[in-house]
Amino acid sequence: MTSPRPSLAAAVRRALISAHDKTALAEFARGLAALGVEILSTGGTAKLLRDAGVRVRDVSDVTVFPEILDGRVKTLHPRIHGGILARRDLPDHLATIERHGIEPIDLVVIGLYPFEATIARPGVTLPEAIEQIDVGGPAMIRAAAKNHASVGVVTAPSQYGLVLAELRAHGALTDETRAALARDAFRRTAEYDAAIAAYLSGHAASEAGDSAETFPAGRRLDLARVLSLRYGENPHQAAAFYRSSGGAATGLAAMSQLHGPELGYNNLLDFSAALGLVGEFTEPAAVVIKHTNPCGAAVGRSVGEAMVKAKASDPVSIYGGIIGVNRILDTDVVRALAGIFVEILFAPAFADDALDELRRTKKRCRVFQVASDRGTAGPGTIEYRSVRGGLLAQTPDDVDLDEKTLKVVSRRAPTGAEMRALRFAWRVAKHAKSNAIVLTTGDQVIGIGAGQMNRLDSARLALSRARDAGLEPRGAVAASDAFFPFRDGLDVLAQAGATAVIHPGGSLRDDEVVAAADEHDVAMVVTGLRHFRH
């Protein structure tokens, strides 16, 4: 069924063009001019179009008023907004603009000042950001979108082709197209205003350290869809991946798929968990995630060496896992994963021969290039989780161990090797679901108990995992994401041969737990810092 021919009231005779993003703008304007559309423009846009051979009428000639205040005021004038807002179906409106010598504007093409790109630059100052807040552009966009029964509004270069095609066919835009353009326009101004509000709120919170600014009484989320997913947690559920609009894309929003099938909802949950864990390490590291929990992690002289050890952490659970490394992924990593089905494999970069081998041998593996830097969230970042009836919001858990706050509470202090291993275990435990017990050497996870209803079961599970993998818990260290409420969990670890333990402390029975450590000659360090993960 074809759309009805546009009415003459929707004909495009005059267009106002003012866009900071000049992508394909000259070609678009030439297309309009070739259809007999008069072009109005301002400043740099007018110069660009003239240089491209497009005949342009300056807005200042229409308003009979010069641009002032360094260009801050140029389109904020009745001769512009009257021409946009006048309803073509109301004789009184048409008589009014004719009486005041105002010419109708039928198409508004606006590209806003680059506020989002500006605040994404490292080290940008508040005055620099404020200077990139557009005023006239959003006003014209909203005016045109409100009057979309008669006026078309274009806010992105991706819309140029559709608009030109319809104008060439009909000399006008269809009702459906103008309505769709208006929806996109209001969405764009909402994104823009949300980015400004979020930036200013984040800046105020970081300046004042004020939780009221971090979590104001009202908050609007503005999200842009990145991907439509195969399905949600289960095949009968629909799903999509969104990122925060405005600012630079970080984390999964910055991923680039190099190989493999499309993503699902669960893939992205696991991918996010793996990206967070691998970002904990500065030395070459490899991590394996299964159902958002670590099941393997190791560091080494190279990511290939780390991958061999991470695979050995749990050679059963690695099948169907999400695997990441924090250096260029080379053929050593590919060889370590030979014969293993991997859902996702990611790295900050890939050696050409390694990528070729992955494409040849792992047809079903999704391969992604993504940065694995620690702390990519940035100031003012808030994490959200949906609950029935609303959202939970919190600041990210990006706190690392502070050497000055560590306290040895046992009779025996950890050796240097034990302390290095405890730091490694603590970083992994931060990413395991509570209650979490993580057993490690200085460079390799050997067993994890996570997501259990009590800490004793977590300790037993960590030891069971180590033994199933053929790894020796004797001489290992252990990290607990929260305090030991009773000594029983510590007793199980010590009896199996763990020599040092790190945990937050703070239990009513801390003295009892410390006494147990001394009984077993276990070195115990408390952090005063908890890393619950639910």
Report whether 304 contacts 330 (CB < 8 A). yes
The distance of Cα 366 from the centroid of its chain, to the nearest Å, equals 19
Bridge partner residues of 227 (DSSP): 241
Give one DSSP letter per residue of 193-226, joined into a string: HHHHHHHHHHHHHHHHT-HHHHS-S-----EEEE
Report whether 292 contacts 439 (CB < 8 A). no
Rounded Cα–Cα distance for residues 422 and 438 (Å) = 10
Q: Which of 20, 93, 203, 291 is catalytic?
A: 291
Hey, is 456 helix, strand or coil? helix
146 is catalytic: yes
The residues near 51 (Cβ < 8 Å, ≥ 6 apart) are none
Hey, is 279 helix, strand or coil? coil
531 is catalytic: no
Identity of residue 487: R
Longest dimension (CA), the chain: 97
Hey, is 517 helix, strand or coil? helix
Report whether 324 contacts 274 (CB < 8 A). yes
Closest CA to 154 of 14, 11, 18: 18
214-223, Cβ contacts within 8 angstroms, sequence gap of 24 or more:
214/380, 214/382, 214/395, 215/382, 215/393, 219/393, 220/194, 221/194, 221/384, 222/190, 222/191, 222/194, 222/195, 222/198, 222/246
Q: Which of 20, 22, 93, 146 is catalytic?
A: 146
Report whether 192 contacts 115 (CB < 8 A). yes
Rounded Cα–Cα distance for residues 210 and 490 (Å) = 39
Assigned token pair, 218? 């009202």
Residues with catalytic roles? 146, 291
